[in-house]
Amino acid sequence: MVPAMSLLEDLRADLGPAHVLTGEEAAPYATDWTKAYRGAPLAVARPASTEGVSAVLRRAHAAGTPVVPVAGNTGLAGGTMAEGAVMLSLARMGRIREVRPAARVAVVEAGVVLARLHEAAEAEGLVFPLTFGAKGSAMIGGVLSTNAGGSNVLRYGGLRGMCLGVEAVMADGRVLDLMGAVHKDNTGYALKDLLIGAEGTLGIITAATLKLFPKPRAYATATVAAPSVKGALTLLHRLQDATGGAVECFEYMPRHYVEQHIAHMDGAEPFEAPHEVNLLVEVGATAPRDAEPDEGGAVPVQETLAATLAAMIERGEVLDAVVASSETQRRAMWARREAAGELMLHVGRLLNLDVALPLDRVEDFLERAEEGRRRIDPGAKLSIVSHLGDGNVHWTVCPTDPARDVPLTEMVEDAVAALGGSFSAEHGIGLAKRGTMARRKDPVALDAMRAIKAALDPKGILNPGKVLPD
C-alpha cells in the first residue's frame, strides 16, 4: 500500500497542485445535491484529459486506494458518496470534440453539461433528445454511468440506444477505446452497454459518441386532465395513431404534485377546476407536411392534437385540456413538470423509489402502493410524478419515522414484483437500492455481476460499495 501523502504528492505532480483538492477545498464534494449522503473524500482529483484520468487510476490502482467518479453530482441514489476515496471529478473534461451533422453524431467528453450538448446539436438543426430537470448541471459521464432516462424515452428510446461508442479508463489505468460511430458492431461482447449504467464500478467513462436526431420543425403541447391513469393511456394510443408515433412526452402529475408546485414554486392551476390526473403531452413534427402552417396559419400537428383532444372531451374520455398557443406557454407547462427535483427538497426527508411498470399496470401499482402507504405510514407525504408513456413512476415518500423506511420500501418492491415491473428505472442503484438488489435481484444475475466486477476491477477500487450488495 502506498501511503496517502505519497499518493497525493504523485497526483499533484501529474495534474498540477491546483487540481488536487483537499481539506476545505474538497468540502463541497463531500455531499450530493440532495444532502442525503455525506462522505469524507481523501482528495478530489480534477484531470482535464483522458490521459489525466489514466494517470489517476494508475496511481490509485498501485496504492489500492478507492476512486469514486463524479460529474454533475445530480444523482439521487448516493452513487458519488466517497469515504476515504479519491473523488475523480470529470468537470474539466468539457470539450465537444466534434459534431458531425452528416452522420448525425456528436463526440463529447464526460464533463460536457447536457444543456450545452443540446445547444450544439440545435445549432446544426438536430437534437440530442435526453432531457430532464437537471439538464443545466448534469454531465454526460454521469448520465451514461447511471443510464439516465428522462422525458423523451417514449419516442427516442433509452440512453444505451442513443450511444454508439464510449471511451473509458479501466481500473488499472488502461484506456478502452470503443469510440466508433457505426450503428452495427457485432464484434463480441457489448462492452459499451456494460459500462453504461455501471455507475463507475467497472470503468470510468471519459467520452462518448452520441446519436443526434432531426429537430422537430413544430411542437404541439398541451396540459390535459384525464379521468384515470388507465384512461390517460387511451389518449396516448390515440395520439400515437394520429401522429404516426410522434408523441415525444407523456408525463403524469397527480393532484398533490400540482398543489406542491403551487405552494412552493408560485405555480398556477393548470385548469379552471382542479383534477386528479394531470398530464403534460407533447408531439413533435419533423415532416414539413405536419409542421408548415397552412394558408390560414394553422399548424397541422397542432390541429391534430387539438382535434384529438376535442373528440375525446366530447366522448368524456378527456375531462379538460389547454393547448399551448405560444412558446412561452409551452415552456411554462414544461417548467411545472421539470420542477419535480426541486420540489422534492420541500417535502422533507425522502425515500425515492423510482420504479418501472408495464404501461397497463401503472394504475394498479399506484393503487397498491397507496393502500400500502395508508397501512404502514398513513401520515407519510407523497410526491409522485411519472414518465407515464414508458411506465416509469417516481414514487417518492416522506416517512413520518425512519423506522418506516424499510417496510415502505419492501411494500413497493412487493407491488412491483407482483405486477412484472422493475425496482429501478432510471436513477440507478448507488447506495440507496443495494438492499433491494439483495432482496429482489435474481441470485444468478448477482453472481454474474460479481464475476464481471472481479474480472475488470480485481482490487475493488472503482466506486466500492455501490450497486452490488455485500
Q: How many domains does the chain have?
A: 4
d(CA 365, CA 137): 32
pLDDT at residue 343, rounded to an integer: 83
pLDDT at residue 286 tops 90:
yes
Residue 412 lies in a domain: yes
pLDDT at residue 1, rounded to an integer: 54
Residue 414 lies in a domain: yes
Within this chain, do residues 252 and 307 fall inside the same structural domain, yes or no?
yes
pLDDT at residue 138 tops 90:
yes
pLDDT at residue 51, rounded to an integer: 98
Within this chain, do residues 261 and 373 fall inside the same structural domain, yes or no?
no
Helix, strand or coil, per DSSP, at residue 248:
strand
Q: How many other CB atoms are found less than 10 A from the CB of residue 405?
A: 15
What confidence category does residue 346 fall into, taking pLDDT thresholds of 50, 70 and 90?
confident
Task: Mark which of 156, 184, 214 sits at the end of a domain.
Answer: 214
Residue 470 lies in a domain: no
Residue 63 lies in a domain: yes
pLDDT at residue 35, rounded to an integer: 78
Mean pLDDT of the chain: 94
Residue 270 lies in a domain: yes
pLDDT at residue 2, rounded to an integer: 63
Within this chain, do residues 228 and 333 fall inside the same structural domain, yes or no?
yes
Task: Mark which of 292, 316, 338 sits at the end of a domain.
Answer: 338
Residue 294: give the domain boundaries.
Answer: 218-338
pLDDT at residue 134, rounded to an integer: 87
pLDDT at residue 423 tops 70:
yes
pLDDT at residue 72, rounded to an integer: 86
CATH number assigned to the domain comprising residue 76 = 3.30.43.10
Residue-wise pLDDT for 348-407, tens only, equals 788 889 999 999 999 999 999 999 999 999 999 999 999 999 999 999 999 999 999 999
CATH number assigned to the domain comprising residue 378 = 3.30.70.2740
Task: Mark which of 283, 312, 338 sits at the end of a domain.
Answer: 338
pLDDT at residue 23 tops 60:
yes
Residue 168 lies in a domain: yes
Within this chain, do residues 79 and 108 fall inside the same structural domain, yes or no?
no
pLDDT at residue 248 tops 80:
yes
What confidence category does residue 33 fall into, taking pLDDT thresholds of 50, 70 and 90?
confident
Where is pLDDT greater, at 209 or 427?
A: 209
Give the strands of the sheet with 43-45, arranged side by side. 20-21, 43-45, 86-89, 67-70
pLDDT at residue 32, rounded to an integer: 81
Residue 397 lies in a domain: yes
Q: What DSSP letter does each residue of 254-296 carry, written as one string?
A: EHHHHHHHHHHH----SSSS--SEEEEEEEEE-SHHHHS--TT
- List the end-to-end C-alpha distance of the chain, in Å, as a whole number: 24
Residue 469 lies in a domain: no
